[in-house]
Structure 1
Amino acid sequence: MIRRLVAGLAVLSLAGCFFPADRGRVVENRLDGLQADNQKLRTELQETRTKLEEATAQLQTALDQLDRASRTTGANIGVKVDTALQDVAVLRGQVETQSVKLQEIETKIAAGPSITSTPEPRKEEFKRPDDPKEFLKLADEKAKAGEVATARQLYAEFMKKWPRDEQIGEAHYQLGESFFGEQKCREALYEYGKVIQEFSKTRSAPMAYLHSSECFKQLKMTDEARLALEELVKSYPKSDAAKTAKTRLADLRKKK
């Protein structure tokens, strides 16, 4: 029974759509894309500037040739002047084209998203307790105060800083509760799954089962929802959560 329940949690975990790391990668990919776009524009800008300088130099040479041709005497003076005029016209067109392109690129760079202006994620500016119990207490207080993002950040920091602390299971449970309160069941189930599989002796383990059942129900995984209740009653028969589970199981039997 417990294996099937854990399998249900594992399937949701393997789906991968709710891991915080995935959201982090989306941001990183977006920043990488912006950096690539900026670099491409700057490279194009440099190339355009070079072409403009070359075209301008060629135009000046053509103008000098036109000036010399206009001072030439002889039968072929008309041909020389016409040729020089054609060269000047072509080069002026190239200069104008490169100038317009240069202005467009500069406008894009000025108006485009700037990597340096992108705000970087940072820790909330307040003192963190050095004691793990006080640290977890602070996270719980932030969660109760409705500062969910800050609470989640603190729970994550707690797990990283004290991975073997006796309260680690509670940190996972409370993190799951922060998602459960927003009806983000997949995220919640991932954390509840951690409690059920790795920290079954933590005091909130019975509630992890109970809320897992509710999440499975919302996801229309009715068999898993029932199994969570049955395992809760079996593993924690004297808990308050088990009393609720018994009532819900009785209701399910009546509906059959």
Structure 2
Amino acid sequence: MPTFLPRAVAALVVSVCLLPAGHAALFEDGEARRAILEMRQRVDSLQQSQQRAGDEVRKLGEENAQLRRSLLDLQTQIETLRVEQSKLRGQNEQLLRDSAELQRRQKDIAQGVDERLRQFEPVKVSLDGQEFQADPAEKRDYEAALAVFRTGKFADAGAAFAGFLRQYPRSGFAPSARFWLGNAQYAVRDYKEAISNFKQMLAEAPGHPRAPEAALSIANCQIELKDTRTARKTLEDLVRAYPQSEAAVAAKERLLRLK
């Protein structure tokens, strides 16, 4: 705290003490007391003013310190909010990426489900001049057996077609499968089984486009078995039943050779 007030009081006292004796005598006791009281009042007033000024200074210092703390707290809060905002922005970006990935996976799953369902949905098939609905598995197995036949592995092809007919006895592929089964058996010289399958095909699907060929194949098997008489009758029946077919033309030629 400043010390100029005590020094001023001391100087005033010294100045009074140093007055010449003649002048001091001029003061009466009452005037001296009044002068002392006024001086004390002035000193007290100065001290109070100084104290108030000191209090104001301290108050301003405290307010300044509080303001600095408030500013620091505000700056800390702003920085915290900035960090939280950055985290939220990162989380939002991650959520967007996760959402996009989830949508992509859902789309892939939906496509996979659709593809699997399509594997079981009937498909339209056009075969040997006929159209029908078949399961994809039927179509796949029939085409696989036919592919084996075309490689010349007739025994394997016969087994494949026989298995197909056991698994899909009412399939739209059945007449064609039985026709190729008979041909596979003919190729391995199993003529009796071939005749049996050709006849069964004719009994189940007499109007099938390959029925005339099946009848001609029966006659060929009978010829291989040296059953000429039965073969001739089979050829004659073929000509009567399917007179406009290419098989009927071939049957007439065979009949000429058999006479």
Q: Which TM-score bucket, shorter chain as reference? A: 0.3 to 0.5
Greater C-alpha radius of gyration:
2
Higher relative contact order (CA 8 A, sep 6+): 1
Q: TM-score, normalised by structure 1?
A: 0.45
